[in-house]
C-alpha cells in the first residue's frame, strides 16, 4: 500500500480532498486551511465548486481565505469569547 502523503504534494492532497466532496454531495463539510498550500485565488476557485452544488462548509483556521470567500467569520479568543 502506498503512503499517498509521501507521493502527493500538499496541493494535490488538498485538491483530492475537495474533489471527494463533489460526488458524495454532503449537506455540510469542514475543511482545514487551504490557502497555505493552494493560495487564496486557487482555494477560492476550488471551494466554489462544492458551494455551487449546495454543500455548506466551515473552513477552519484560514483567515485569508475566510475574508475572500465565506459568508461569515467567527473569531474565537483564547479566553473563549467570540465575535
Are 27 and 49 within 8 A, CB to CB?
Answer: no
The pLDDT-based confidence of 65 (bands split at 50, 70, 90) is low
| pLDDT tens, position by position, 16-62 | 888 888 899 899 888 777 777 777 788 778 878 888 888 887 877 76
User: Exposed (0-12), middle (13-18) or buried (19+): which is 21, by Cβ within 10 Å?
Assistant: middle
Cell of 40: 487564496
| pLDDT tens, position by position, 46-56 | 878 888 888 88
The pLDDT-based confidence of 67 (bands split at 50, 70, 90) is low
Distance in angstroms (rounded) separating the CA atoms of residues 9 and 64 = 21
Mapped onto helix, strand or coil, the DSSP state of residue 3 is coil
Domain boundaries, the chain: 4-69
Amino acid at each position: 500500500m502506498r503512503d499517498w502523503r509521501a507521493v502527493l504534494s500538499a496541493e494535490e492532497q488538498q485538491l483530492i480532498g475537495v474533489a471527494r466532496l463533489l460526488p458524495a454531495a454532503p449537506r455540510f463539510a469542514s475543511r482545514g486551511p487551504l490557502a497555505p498550500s493552494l493560495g487564496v485565488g486557487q482555494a477560492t476557485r476550488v471551494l466554489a465548486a462544492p458551494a455551487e452544488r449546495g454543500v455548506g462548509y466551515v473552513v477552519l483556521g484560514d483567515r485569508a481565505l475566510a475574508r475572500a470567500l465565506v459568508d461569515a467569520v467567527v473569531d474565537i479568543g483564547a479566553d473563549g469569547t467570540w465575535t
